[in-house]
């Protein structure tokens, strides 16, 4: 397997973003990531996919019902060559139509909260939790988390100038929601993204370019394990990337707190073995192995409950119980223990 770094949520002027597709891909190249997916609101922009400066640029759609007030239920749709926003008002129908076309769907910033300071930054959570058939959830959305720190003017100012002092991890509510779905025996893949808009922010005389696309692509990303190295050809690489995404073969990482490339989480039982996103049938005990490229506080969780905890670059654990096992790793960064890596689960049966 080959590890690639992807960011799957960004906007252009086709909706409310600042830079165009090729500029976003150039920013991704500067940030050193391999894949970027542009997801404008309720529009599927054609003719943009391909390689730009060595980055695979793909186009999806972020769907919501603009008539619904207050706003809710943003859904990221990938791998569908048709605009899907006509089904925005009916989330289950939308997911069914996406599945009919072999597309992928991720509930975007599902536990989004409002900024206490600015009414323009209202909460846009997912509300229709009885839906079935979505591929996964956006576990960590950088801009959605950032919004929660815009509490008052001084804090907002500091947060805009030095966001890395604030960013800490996915919200507890999102993690709880994910674990509850996993504990029900459902397969739910997790992704982590920027939700970059590139809007320049001015603070009086200060016109610091904050939250530009390249900065955000160095922060919260989705690392995917693909079968072969990227070939540089859209037709070959696109299905490979989306297959890894469909299976949840990878992990979410805050790369600014330490490059997370090289992280691995595997499970073995008898002759069978599985990696992130995979299923493992038990033959006696299951041997879990976690390896990190840097030291951190490593936690192994089963159906949301912690079963092992260790500081270092590795964790090994033996278990005989079925369930969805996933890993969280924390790292000291900017004086605080922050969320660094969130693996997709291994489903032990
Ligand atoms: Zn959104
Ligand atoms: Zn968005």
Residue 17: nearest ligand to its CA?
Answer: 2
| DSSP character at residue 170 | S
Q: Which of 257, 284, 312 is the last residue of a domain?
A: 257
Please give the distance, rounded to the nearest whole angstrom, from the Cα atom of residue 139 to the centre of ligand 2. 14
Q: What is the CA radius of gyration of the chain?
A: 19
Same domain, 226 and 316: no
Please give the distance, rounded to the nearest whole angstrom, from the Cα atom of residue 141 to the centre of ligand 2. 9
Give 276-298 pLDDT, tens digit per residue: 999 999 999 999 999 999 999 99
Cα–Cα distance, 277 to 292 (Å, whole number)? 18
Cβ within 8 Å of residue 219, ≥6 positions away: 142, 167, 194, 254, 255, 256
Same domain, 27 and 43: yes
We report the CATH number of the domain holding residue 56 as 3.20.20.140
Please give the distance, rounded to the nearest whole angstrom, from the Cα atom of residue 65 to the centre of ligand 2. 13
Terminal Cα-to-Cα distance of the chain (whole angstroms): 24
Give 147-174 pLDDT, tens digit per residue: 999 888 888 888 888 999 999 999 999 9
Cβ within 8 Å of residue 185, ≥6 positions away: 324
Give 68-121 pLDDT, tens digit per residue: 999 999 999 999 999 999 999 999 999 999 999 999 999 999 999 988 787 677
Task: Quote the pLDDT of residue 156.
Answer: 83
Cβ within 8 Å of residue 92, ≥6 positions away: 128, 130, 131, 132, 133
Q: Hey, how many other C-beta atoms are within 10 angstroms of the C-beta on 229?
A: 11
Residues with C-beta atoms within 5 A of ion ligand 1: 74, 108
Residue 71: nearest ligand to its CA?
Answer: 1
Give 298-309 pLDDT, tens digit per residue: 999 999 999 999
Please give the distance, rounded to the nearest whole angstrom, from the Cα atom of residue 3 to the centre of ligand 2. 25
Please give the distance, rounded to the nearest whole angstrom, from the Cα atom of residue 132 to the centre of ligand 1. 20
Same domain, 134 and 231: yes
Same domain, 337 and 200: no
Task: Quote the pLDDT of residue 119.
Answer: 61
Label residue 207 by pLDDT band (50, 70, 90).
low
Label residue 209 by pLDDT band (50, 70, 90).
low
Same domain, 315 and 243: no
Please give the distance, rounded to the nearest whole angstrom, from the Cα atom of residue 143 to the centre of ligand 1. 10
Is residue 147 exposed (0-12), middle (13-18) or buried (19+ Cβ within 10 Å)?
A: buried
Same domain, 275 and 217: no
Buried b (16+ CB within 10 A) or exposed e, 93-129: ebbebbbeeebbbbbbbbbbbbbeeeeebebbbbeee
Cα–Cα distance, 186 to 295 (Å, whole number)? 31
Task: Quote the pLDDT of residue 325.
Answer: 98
Please give the distance, rounded to the nearest whole angstrom, from the Cα atom of residue 124 to the centre of ligand 1. 7
Question: Torsion over CA of 264, 142, 73 and 279, rounded to 10 degrees?
Answer: 0
Please give the distance, rounded to the nearest whole angstrom, from the Cα atom of residue 61 to the centre of ligand 2. 9
Q: Which of 230, 257, 284 is the last residue of a domain?
A: 257
Residue 109: nearest ligand to its CA?
Answer: 1
Please give the distance, rounded to the nearest whole angstrom, from the Cα atom of residue 316 to the centre of ligand 1. 38
Q: What's the structural domain count of the chain?
A: 2
Per-chain mean pLDDT for the chain: 95
Report angle CA 106, 109, 113 to the nearest 5 degrees: 160
Report which of 110, 167, 170 is spatially closest to residue 140, judged by C-alpha positions: 170
Residue 39: nearest ligand to its CA?
Answer: 2
> Is the pLDDT assigned to residue 210 strictly greater than 80?
no
Give 34-77 pLDDT, tens digit per residue: 999 999 999 999 999 999 999 999 999 999 999 999 999 999 99
We report the CATH number of the domain holding residue 269 as 2.60.40
Give the three-state DSSP class for 120: coil
Domain enclosing residue 209, as ranges: 2-257
Q: Which of 257, 284, 319 is the last residue of a domain?
A: 257
Same domain, 186 and 326: no
Same domain, 247 and 280: no
Q: Hey, how many other C-beta atoms are within 10 angstroms of the C-beta on 85?
A: 19
Same domain, 192 and 161: yes
Same domain, 101 and 81: yes
Mean pLDDT computed over 260-279: 97
Residue 10: nearest ligand to its CA?
Answer: 2
For residue 87, report the phi and psi dihedrals to the nearest 5 degrees: -100, 15
Same domain, 187 and 334: no
Same domain, 124 and 180: yes
The answer to whether the predicted template modeling score (pTM) of the entire model surpasses 0.95 is yes
Please give the distance, rounded to the nearest whole angstrom, from the Cα atom of residue 126 to the centre of ligand 1. 10
């Amino acid at each position: 397997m080959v590890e690639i770094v992807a960011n799957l949520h960004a906007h252009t002027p086709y909706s409310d973003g600042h830079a165009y597709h090729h500029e976003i891909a150039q920013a991704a190249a500067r940030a050193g990531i391999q894949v970027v997916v542009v997801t404008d609101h309720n529009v599927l922009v054609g003719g943009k996919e391909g390689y730009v400066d060595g980055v695979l640029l793909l186009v999806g759609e972020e769907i919501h019902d603009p008539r619904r007030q207050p706003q809710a239920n943003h859904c990221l749709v990938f791998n569908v060559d048709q605009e899907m926003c006509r089904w925005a008002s009916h989330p289950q129908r939308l997911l069914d139509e996406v599945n009919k076309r072999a597309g992928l769907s991720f509930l975007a910033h599902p536990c989004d909260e409002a900024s206490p300071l600015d009414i323009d930054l209202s909460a846009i959570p997912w509300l229709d939790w009885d839906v079935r058939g979505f591929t996964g959830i956006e576990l960590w959305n950088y801009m959605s988390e950032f919004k929660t720190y815009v509490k008052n003017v001084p804090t907002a100012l500091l947060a805009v100038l030095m966001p890395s002092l604030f960013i800490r991890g996915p919200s507890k509510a999102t993690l709880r929601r994910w674990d509850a779905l996993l504990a029900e025996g459902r397969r739910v893949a997790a992704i982590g993204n920027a939700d970059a808009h590139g809007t320049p922010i001015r603070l009086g005389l200060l016109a610091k370019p904050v939250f530009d696309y390249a900065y955000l692509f160095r922060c919260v990303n989705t690392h995917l394990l693909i079968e072969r190295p990227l070939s540089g050809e859209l037709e070959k690489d696109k299905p490979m990337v989306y297959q890894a995404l469909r299976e949840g073969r990878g992990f979410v990482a805050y790369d600014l707190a330490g490059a997370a490339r090289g992280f691995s989480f595997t499970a073995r039982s008898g002759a069978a073995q599985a990696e992130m996103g995979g299923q493992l049938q038990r033959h006696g005990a299951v041997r879990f192995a976690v390896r990190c490229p840097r030291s951190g506080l490593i936690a192994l969780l089963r159906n949301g409950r912690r079963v092992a905890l260790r500081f270092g670059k590795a964790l090994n654990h033996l278990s005989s119980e079925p369930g969805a096992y996933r890993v969280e790793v924390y790292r000291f960064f900017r004086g605080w223990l922050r969320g660094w890596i969130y693996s997709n689960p291994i489903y032990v049966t």
